[in-house]
Amino acid sequence: MADKKVSITREYLKGLWDENPVLRSLLGLCPVLAVTNSAINGLAMGLATTFVLLTSSIIISLVRKVIPHQVRIASFIVIIATFVTVADRFLAAYFPPISKDLGPYVPLIVVNCIILGRQEAFSSRNSLGRSILDSSGMGTGFILVLILLGGFREIFGSGTFFGMTVLGEWFDPWMVMILPPGAFLGLGLFIGLTNWINAWRAKA
């Protein structure tokens, strides 16, 4: 049932840290690892995912009272897959180089646990307004992690941030950071850091 005790701002902010979908709930890890070899790729993937999350949340929240319980998952999946196709085709038509970089990971947004998870846990049970806030918050939290991890890997792996050179000629890039091991390493460090910060806050 709708959580009336949660304030409007909380509904949005919780996605950024306390219930960050990647670092706390460990959802949607596949794209996080795959497209964070640069900050711009992370941002593009984050926006695409948030687009799908928002649009499907809006539709599902609007029709939540009409969908019979037994077919809800199938309905969610069709709706989500439809908007993922829209996003994928949009990138291919209007931003071909980014579409090429992100490759097959855009269609994989369909199985991004964050989206199905939010529909099942929230949008199908809450009002349109709250669902929009929840999805926006989760999406923002997701984008933040993607940009931070993408930036981290890009700076150490290429010496650039969003394409602009940050570390000069003296720096010999750590190629491994933009390769798979660097992805796992970066994410592992981020998760560990998040847990450590939360433990430290709990003690304080």
Partner 1 sequence: MSTTAKMIIVLTVITIFSGGILSTWDGVTKPKIEAYKLQELKKAIAEVLPKYDEYEEIHIDGLTLYIGKKTTDTTQTVGIALEAVGNGFQGKISIMLGLFPDFSEISGIKILEQIETPGLGTKIVEDPSNKEDPYWFSNQFKQLKTEPQIEVIKNVKPSKPAEIQAITGATISSKAVVTILNNHIQLAKKNYLSNSKSQIQ
Partner 2 sequence: MKLILIFISAAVVNNFVLSYFLGICPFVGVSKKISSAVSMGMAVTFVMTIAAVVTWLIYHLILVPASLEILEYVSFILVIASLVQLVEMFVRKISKPLYDALGIYLPLITTNCAILGLALFAVLRDYAFIESLVFGVGAGAGFTLAITIMAGIREQLELAKVPKSFEGAGITMIVAAALALAFMGFAGLISV
What 3-state DSSP class applies to 1? coil
Distance between start and end Cα atoms, the chain: 33
Shortest distance, CB of residue 82 to partner 2, whole angstroms?
Answer: 6
- Gap between the Cα atoms of 43 and 178, Å rounded: 16
Mask of contacts with partner 2, 167-196, x by CB under 8 A? ---------x--xxxxxxx-xxx-xxxxxx
The 146-165 contact track toward partner 2, x by CB under 8 A, reads: --------------------
Give the binding site for partner 1 (CB under 8 A).
Answer: 66-68, 70-71, 74-75, 78-79, 81-82, 85-86, 89-90, 92-94, 96, 173, 175, 178-179
* Buried b or exposed e, range 95-124, using 16+ CB within 10 angstroms: eeebbebbeebbebbbebebbbebbeebbb
**Measured distance CA(78)–CA(81) in Å, rounded:** 5
94: amino acid identity, one letter: Y
Report how far residue 118's alpha carbon sits from residue 19's, in angstroms, rounded to the nearest whole number.
Answer: 12
Per-residue binding string, partner 2, 88-117, x by CB under 8 A, is: xx--------------x--xx-xxxx--x-
Which C-beta is closer to partner 2: that of 8 or that of 199?
A: 199
Binding site for partner 2 (CB under 8 A): 26-27, 29-31, 33-34, 73-74, 77-78, 81-82, 84-85, 88-89, 104, 107-108, 110-113, 116, 176, 179-185, 187-189, 191-196, 199
